[in-house]
Chains A and B, each alone.
Chain A
Amino acid sequence: MPEPDAHPSLERFVELNGPSNGAWGELSSYMVSLLKAWWGDAATEDNEFCFHNLPRIDGDHSHYATMLKMLDGGVKGFFAVGQNPTVGSANARLQCMALSKLDWLVLRDFSETETAAFWHDSPEIESGDVRTEDIGTEVFFMPAAAYTEKDGNFTNTQRLLQWHHKALEPPGDCRSDLHWIYHLGRRIREKLAGSDDPRDRAILDLTWGYPVHGPHDEPDADAVLREIGGRQADGSFVSGYEELEDDGSTACGSWIHAGIYADGVNQSARKRPHTEQNWVATEWGWAWPKNTRLLYNRASADPEGKPWSERKRYVWWDAEEGRWTGLGDNPDFPPDKEPDYEPGRRDRAMAAIRGDAPFVLHPDGLGWIYAPSGLVDGPLPVHYEPQESPFENRLYAQQQNPTRQVFHRPENPYHPTDGETGAAVFPFVLTTYRLTEHHTAGGMSRTVPYLSELQPELFCEISPQLAQERGLEHGGWATIVSARQAIEARVMVTDRVQSLEVQGRTMHVVGVPYHWGRRGLVTGDSANELLPLALDSNVHISEYKVATCDIRPGRRPRGRDRAALVEEYRRRAGVKV
Chain B
Amino acid sequence: MSAETLAWPGSYGGDAKPRVGFFTDTSICIGCKACEVACKEWNRIPESPQGFTGKSYDNTLDLGANTWRHVAFIEQRVPADADGGASLVEAAERGGLVEREGLATSKEGDGVRWLMSSDVCKHCTEAACLEVCPTGALFRTEFGTVVVQEDVCNGCGYCVSACPFGVLDRREGDGRVWKCTLCYDRLKDDREPACAQACPTNSIQFGEVDELRERAEKRLAKLRGDGQSEARLYLADEEDGIGGAGAFFLLLDEPEVYGLPPDPVDSRRHLGAIWAATGAAAAALGAGLVAAVFGGR
| Contact flags A15-31 to B (C-beta < 8 A → 1, else 0) | 00000000000000000
Provide the residues of chain A in CB contact with B265, threshold 8 Å: none
Which listed residue (B33, B36, B112) contacts A496, Cβ 8 A?
A: B112
Contact A498 to B107, CB < 8 A, known contacts A453-B47, A456-B52, A504-B102: yes
Q: Are B54 and A456 in contact (CB under 8 A)?
A: no
Whether A3 sits at the interface, judged by CB under 8 Å, is: no
Q: Which of B104-158 contact A (CB under 8 A)?
A: 104-107, 110, 112, 114
Task: State how many angstroms separate the Cβ of B277 from the closest Cβ of chain A.
Answer: 42
Q: Which of B30-46 contact A (CB under 8 A)?
A: 31-33, 36-37, 40-41
| Contact flags A483-513 to B (C-beta < 8 A → 1, else 0) | 0000000101011101111111000000000
Task: State how many angstroms separate the Cβ of B125 from the closest Cβ of chain A.
Answer: 31
Closest to A464 in B: B107
Interface residue total, chain A, C-beta cutoff 8 A: 27
Stretch at the interface among A145-153, A297-305, A444-452, A563-571: A444-452
Provide the residues of chain B in CB contact with A451, threshold 8 Å: 37
Task: State how many angstroms separate the Cβ of A210 from the closest Cβ of chain B.
Answer: 34
Whether B253 sits at the interface, judged by CB under 8 Å, is: no
Give the docked Cα–Cα distance between A454 and B89 (Å).
Answer: 31
Q: Are B104 and A436 in contact (CB under 8 A)?
A: no
Q: Are B36 and A456 in contact (CB under 8 A)?
A: no
Q: Which of A433-465 contact B (CB under 8 A)?
A: 435-437, 449-457, 459
Q: Are A495 and B33 in contact (CB under 8 A)?
A: no
Q: Are A454 and B75 in contact (CB under 8 A)?
A: no
Whether B201 sits at the interface, judged by CB under 8 Å, is: no
Which listed residue (A452, A454, A498, A502) contacts B36, Cβ 8 A?
A: A454
Which listed residue (B31, B51, B54) contacts A492, Cβ 8 A?
A: B54
Q: Are A495 and B54 in contact (CB under 8 A)?
A: no
Whether A475 sits at the interface, judged by CB under 8 Å, is: yes
Give the docked Cα–Cα distance between A492 and B60 (Å).
Answer: 16
Q: Are B37 and A454 in contact (CB under 8 A)?
A: yes
- Main SS class of interface, A: loop
Whether B270 sits at the interface, judged by CB under 8 Å, is: no
A-B contact count (CB 8 A): 69
Task: State how many angstroms separate the Cβ of B243 from the closest Cβ of chain A.
Answer: 34
Task: State how many angstroms separate the Cβ of A288 from the closest Cβ of chain B.
Answer: 24
Provide the residues of chain A in CB contact with B110, threshold 8 Å: 495
Interface centre among B40, B41, B54, B98, by most A CB within 10 Å?
B54
Task: State how many angstroms separate the Cβ of B105 from the closest Cβ of chain A.
Answer: 5
Q: Are A499 and B60 in contact (CB under 8 A)?
A: no
Closest to B31 in A: A436
Contact A453 to B52, CB < 8 A, known contacts A436-B32, A504-B102: no
Closest to B50 in A: A453
Give the docked Cα–Cα distance between A238 and B59 (Å).
Answer: 52
Task: State how many angstroms separate the Cβ of A551 from the closest Cβ of chain B.
Answer: 17
Provide the residues of chain B in CB contact with A490, threshold 8 Å: 52, 54
Whether A474 sits at the interface, judged by CB under 8 Å, is: yes
Task: State how many angstroms separate the Cβ of B1 from the closest Cβ of chain A.
Answer: 27
Which listed residue (B40, B56, B105) contacts A501, Cβ 8 A?
A: B105
Whether B85 sits at the interface, judged by CB under 8 Å, is: no
Interface centre among A450, A459, A501, by most B CB within 10 Å?
A450
Whether B103 sits at the interface, judged by CB under 8 Å, is: yes
Provide the residues of chain A in CB contact with B54, threshold 8 Å: 474-475, 490, 492
Q: Which of B224-271 contact A (CB under 8 A)?
A: none
Q: Are A500 and B41 in contact (CB under 8 A)?
A: no
Closest to B88 in A: A498
Provide the residues of chain B in CB contact with A459, threshold 8 Å: 52
| Contact flags B19-37 to A (C-beta < 8 A → 1, else 0) | 0000000000001110011
Contact A501 to B106, CB < 8 A, known contacts A450-B37, A496-B112: yes
Q: Are B52 and A499 in contact (CB under 8 A)?
A: no
Q: Are B52 and A494 in contact (CB under 8 A)?
A: no
Which listed residue (A452, A457, A502) contacts B103, Cβ 8 A?
A: A502
Give the docked Cα–Cα distance between A503 and B102 (Å).
Answer: 5
Closest to A521 in B: B49
Contact A495 to B77, CB < 8 A, known contacts A450-B40, A500-B105: yes
Provide the residues of chain B in CB contact with A474, threshold 8 Å: 54
Provide the residues of chain A in CB contact with B112, threshold 8 Å: 495-496, 498
Give the docked Cα–Cα distance between A501 and B104 (Å).
Answer: 6
Give the docked Cα–Cα distance between A528 and B98 (Å).
Answer: 34
Q: Are B56 and A494 in contact (CB under 8 A)?
A: yes
Task: State how many angstroms separate the Cβ of B75 from the closest Cβ of chain A.
Answer: 6
Q: Are B59 and A454 in contact (CB under 8 A)?
A: yes
Provide the residues of chain A in CB contact with B56, threshold 8 Å: 492, 494
Q: Are A456 and B49 in contact (CB under 8 A)?
A: yes
Contact A457 to B107, CB < 8 A, known contacts A451-B37, A496-B112, A503-B102: no
Closest to B111 in A: A495
Interface centre among B77, B107, B112, B114, by most A CB within 10 Å?
B107
Q: Are B75 and A501 in contact (CB under 8 A)?
A: no
Provide the residues of chain B in CB contact with A500, threshold 8 Å: 104-105
Closest to B34 in A: A436
Give the docked Cα–Cα distance between A459 and B54 (Å).
Answer: 9
28 A-B pairs within 8 Å (CB atoms) are namely A435-B57, A436-B31, A437-B33, A450-B37, A451-B37, A453-B47, A453-B49, A453-B50, A453-B60, A454-B33, A455-B59, A456-B49, A456-B52, A457-B52, A474-B54, A475-B54, A490-B52, A494-B56, A495-B75, A495-B77, A496-B112, A500-B105, A501-B102, A501-B104, A501-B105, A502-B103, A503-B102, A504-B102
Chain A residues at the B interface, C-beta cutoff of 8 Å: 435-437, 449-457, 459, 474-475, 490, 492, 494-496, 498-504
Q: A-B pairs with the 8 shortest C-beta distances?
A: A449-B47, A475-B54, A453-B49, A457-B52, A495-B112, A436-B32, A450-B37, A450-B40
Other contacts beyond A449-B47, A452-B47, A456-B51: 4, CB < 8 A = A449-B49, A450-B41, A495-B77, A498-B105
